[in-house]
Structure 1
Amino acid sequence: MKVSTLIKSVGLVTIISGAGKLLGFARESIIAAYFGTSEVADVFFVASLVPTLLFTAIGTAIQAGIIPLFMEERSKSGERARDLMSLLGTFLLMVSILFIGLAILFTEPLIQVMAPGFSPEQTVLAVEITRIMIPGMVFLTLTAISTGVLNANKQFVLPAFSATIQNVVIILATVLLASTYGVYGLSIGVLIGAAGQFLIQYPSFKKMDIGLNFHFRRNKEKIIKIMILFYPIIIAAISVQMNSLVDRMVSTGLDTGSVSALNYANRLLWLPLSVIMTPLITVLYPSIVEGALESYKKFFGIIQKGASLIIFASIPFMILMIIKGDNLIQLAFQRGNFTSEATGLTNQALVYYAAGLVFFALRDFLMNGFYALKKTKFAMYSCLAAVIINIILSVLLSKVMAVGGIALASSISMLIQCIVLFGYLLNKNGRSQGYAVEFAKETAKLLVISLAVTGSVFLAVNLLPEGLNILIETTILTVLIFGLYLILSAVLKVHTMKPIVQKLTTKRSFLK
């Protein structure tokens, strides 16, 4: 993909994703206003994990696995690619329906395992609202199939717009139904929102001429071969979600509101990740697959550039959240039943989640690289190891740092996984030593810049007048952080800044 095309695609997806994530943020803010960090909120956020885990088991495997398979078959024949997707999509849809049936049957023991600290009343409520949301997995599976196919054809707009539809529906359901039906109304909104995600993509997906194909017995060998490739992706995807499950399981044994605090902090953390990093990862994935099919040199070049962009873009957000996370939480959530005490509890988690923001983004990008190479087993093992590390650290750190310890455990596990994944790709590259030295130099520059920016912001906080409006204060500090970061990056000639500086210099010369 050309640089200009990449920039346009990322820009368009960023704008659409940004609108969707801002609506998602509004959704969380409205949920916080209605339910705060209450026991009911804790129940909802645990209950929502069951359909999330089930969908992740299939959905991530579909989106990550379909693109390489579809593009490989398409290079041979468009008809073969469509036939493969019809067969595979139908099979996975049947699997999702089977999962729904099992989940409904075993909802109660699932909740008891996921939330051992819940009271009997909380468990009963969690079971009821989980069963309302679980059928949405059918629509989420269909959405994952259509998203994978559309992205493989480099059609990114409608898949990016899907989240907007879901968030609008959930917001409307909360506002219109929560006062009367409580958390049940919110759960119904989640179910309808899942259906809306697929319906918005259906017109474009229909043009791909991909339908239902129930000839499983005739294509048994092909399905088995694909599932052998897919099962590590499925396990890896479940493992990634297990980190969230571990966080919430451990937090159910802490003070009331701890589960909700972790959820709100996690949502705030993923706002910049979803708006800035996810579009970049999504748009680059087909190019990574193309690079892997052509040569490892081309593949690793895309990985290196993508990783550098993600690290560079993540750092200023990380600094802002660590220094003024309390301001962000107040602006986003503190209203209605979400009190100042809830803000303090949420900020404990946000600070330590933010410390690992770079690695949360980088992990997803590197995982896509392994899927493109079809090194799915190594990706799976790295995810399982990260979960084990997260479990051990969460239990230990929560005893001394409460929700902050749980968040810190997640960040540390992400850091270790990123080191393992990038180290593997680096060693497989023939020029690993040269890349390692270059990467170390760039990291040192970014570390110096980050320390300088952080010190300057702390000084600025002390110089600002007391009683300043929180929105004005946050805006001033945000501009200062991003402005200083970009200026120092240009002065120290950070590699990622070079194309921007050259473009600005060229334009200035032209104007003269």
Structure 2
Amino acid sequence: MKIKQASSTIIFSILINIVSKVIGFVREVFISSQFGSSIITDAFFTLQQVPQGIGNFVQGAFNLSFIPHFHDAEKKGVENKFFKYLFRKLIYLGSAVAIIYFIITQFIYNSSSLELSFSTIFTFAIIPFVIIGLCFGLLNAKEKYLKANLYATLYPVVMLLFLFILPFIGFPLDISLPLSYTIGLVLSSAAGILIFYGIFKRTSQHRSQNDDLILIKKEFNISLFHSTIENIGFNLNSILTVIFLSQTGIIGIVSSNAYSNRISMLFLSGFVGPLNQLFQGYFSKYKESITRKRVIQITLLFLLSLTIIVIVVIVYRYEIVKLVYERGKFNSEDTSHVADFLVPYMLYFLVISLNQYFARIIYAQHLSKIYAYTMLIAYTISNILKPVSLAYYAPESVIWVMVLAEALAIPYFFYLTNIRRWSAN
């Protein structure tokens, strides 16, 4: 991809991501305006965690392994067979999760409860989320980055439209919440299947490459195992942070953590996400021809852009928090607490962005085991030190611990991805 084309792709991808975030925000504002913080919203946000979790897994950990191995399959001429194998595998996984989710919720909730109605509807959202995640990964693997981001924006748009349409045509407003969510996913997954057909109907397939396919499957499954356990470790790390903060007994401290985390992670999904899509496709497809000099140039430019964002947000953190949150019952004292958390969280944004960038290169080089186990060690160190830091320092010290522990991996990853793996030309 030429520099001019890559630049325009990055800019438009970031803009599309911003539009997607705005649509999601409008939807949440509408829900909060209609229901506030209530039993209905508690049920909705709690029960959607299973389909949402499956979707996040496919778009994240699964695609981290899928994209480089799909490029390997393309080079061997077995991408059709490899994709069909993965499609079946994911459908089986989604079906198993949907059945288990349905059975468990039938036992937990009363037959006339709102929760049971919600969970029954959400059962039909699980497989569509799997298809959407796989389609997103396939479009990125085919270097159709703008189409991938546009496709990822489709289901939030459809969800929002049906959230307005369903009550208008007579559906109860509470049932419209999970129903619009599921309809958005079902219709978007149908579009995904059409995209699958459009891509693979134009590709021919070699018939004598079964040995190559078996090897690629084996390497993919190993890589997926590593990305999955690292993803579990990352999520446990986040959960334990909330648990440790909640044990302090300080009122509002968990909320302050959540608000500041949301601001910092907005840059991760809106800016770093689109860049990493390009990086993963580039390093997976052209890994044999990339030089050490080019990799170091990309790394330093990426680091520079991240550093500028971090400095600007930290300098103007009070103004940003005030603009975003300070209204109604959210007062200036709350602003101060969130701003205190935002300093380490922006540095954590820098660390996590670099580690995710290095992950794209490491997985492209089939070194997933090294990345997964290094990060698991970092998460373990972090969670050992979190309660110690809370015993002696302010609550935001737990985020500083995460920054320091996970930053320990950066020099090693830099050596591994910028020095060791590439030619010196």
TM-score of the aligned structures, taking structure 2 as reference length: 0.78
Q: Structure 1 residues 53, 204: closer, same or farther in 2, change over 3 A?
A: closer
Residue of structure 1 equivalent to 2:150? 161
Residue of structure 2 equivalent to 1:95? 93
Q: Structure 1 residues 25, 349: closer, same or farther in 2, change over 3 A?
A: farther
CA deviation profile, 1:274-294 (whole Å, cap 9, x unmatched): 3322222111222111232x1
Distance 1:132 1:409 in 2: 41
Residue of structure 2 equivalent to 1:349? 341
Secondary structure in 2 matching 1:374: coil
Does 2:379 align with 1:384? no
Checking the alignment, whether the CA contact within 8 Å between 1:252 and 1:258 is kept in structure 2 is yes
Checking the alignment, whether the CA contact within 8 Å between 2:59 and 2:136 is kept in structure 1 is no
Does 2:196 align with 1:205? yes
Q: Structure 1 residues 81, 133: closer, same or farther in 2, change over 3 A?
A: same
Secondary structure in 2 matching 1:206: helix
Q: Which one is further off, 417-426 or 252-261?
A: 252-261
Q: Structure 1 residues 73, 164: closer, same or farther in 2, change over 3 A?
A: closer
The Cα of 1:143 is off from its aligned counterpart by 1.5
Checking the alignment, whether the CA contact within 8 Å between 2:348 and 2:399 is kept in structure 1 is no
Checking the alignment, whether the CA contact within 8 Å between 1:37 and 1:338 is kept in structure 2 is no
Q: Structure 1 residues 314, 226: closer, same or farther in 2, change over 3 A?
A: closer
Residue of structure 1 equivalent to 2:261? 266
Residue of structure 2 equivalent to 1:456? none
**For structure 1, which runs of at least 5 residues remain unmatched after alignment?**
112-123, 211-217, 436-512
Residue of structure 2 equivalent to 1:443? none
Checking the alignment, whether the CA contact within 8 Å between 1:382 and 1:421 is kept in structure 2 is no
**For structure 2, which runs of at least 5 residues remain unmatched after alignment?**
202-209
Distance 2:321 2:51 in 1: 27
The Cα of 1:19 is off from its aligned counterpart by 1.9
Secondary structure in 2 matching 1:75: helix
Does 2:406 align with 1:408? no
Pairwise mapping of residues 359-374 of structure 1 onto structure 2 (< 5 A)? 359-374=351-366
Distance 1:198 1:257 in 2: 39
- One-letter amino acid of the counterpart of residue 125, structure 2: G
Residue of structure 2 equivalent to 1:8? 8
Q: Structure 1 residues 130, 398: closer, same or farther in 2, change over 3 A?
A: farther
Checking the alignment, whether the CA contact within 8 Å between 2:378 and 2:406 is kept in structure 1 is yes
Q: Which one is further off, 241-250 or 89-98?
A: 241-250
Distance 2:405 2:32 in 1: 28
Of 220, 228, 235 in structure 1, the residue corresponding to residue 229 of structure 2 is 235
Pairwise mapping of residues 61-140 of structure 1 onto structure 2 (< 5 A)? 61-77=61-77, 80-103=78-101, 133=122, 136-140=125-129
TM-score of the aligned structures, taking structure 1 as reference length: 0.66
Identity value in percent:
21
Q: Structure 1 residues 408, 45: closer, same or farther in 2, change over 3 A?
A: farther
CA deviation profile, 1:99-130 (whole Å, cap 9, x unmatched): 3444556689xx9xxxxxxxxxxxx9999977
Q: Structure 1 residues 181, 239: closer, same or farther in 2, change over 3 A?
A: farther
The Cα of 1:67 is off from its aligned counterpart by 1.8
CA deviation profile, 1:207-234 (whole Å, cap 9, x unmatched): 0238xxxxxxx99966555322321122
Of 276, 280, 283 in structure 1, the residue corresponding to residue 275 of structure 2 is 280
Does 2:307 align with 1:311? no
Secondary structure in 1 matching 2:396: helix
Distance 1:69 1:159 in 2: 18
CA deviation profile, 1:340-369 (whole Å, cap 9, x unmatched): 555444333322201222212111111011
The Cα of 1:374 is off from its aligned counterpart by 0.7
Checking the alignment, whether the CA contact within 8 Å between 1:96 and 1:138 is kept in structure 2 is yes
Secondary structure in 1 matching 2:316: helix
Distance 1:261 1:237 in 2: 24
Does 2:52 align with 1:60? no
CA deviation profile, 1:29-67 (whole Å, cap 9, x unmatched): 667777889999899777665555444444424312222
The Cα of 1:86 is off from its aligned counterpart by 1.1
How many residue pairs match? The answer is 407
Secondary structure in 2 matching 1:154: coil
State the superposition RMSD in angstroms: 4.2
Checking the alignment, whether the CA contact within 8 Å between 2:291 and 2:422 is kept in structure 1 is no
Secondary structure in 2 matching 1:208: helix
Q: Structure 1 residues 225, 369: closer, same or farther in 2, change over 3 A?
A: closer
- One-letter amino acid of the counterpart of residue 4, structure 1: K
Checking the alignment, whether the CA contact within 8 Å between 2:292 and 2:423 is kept in structure 1 is no
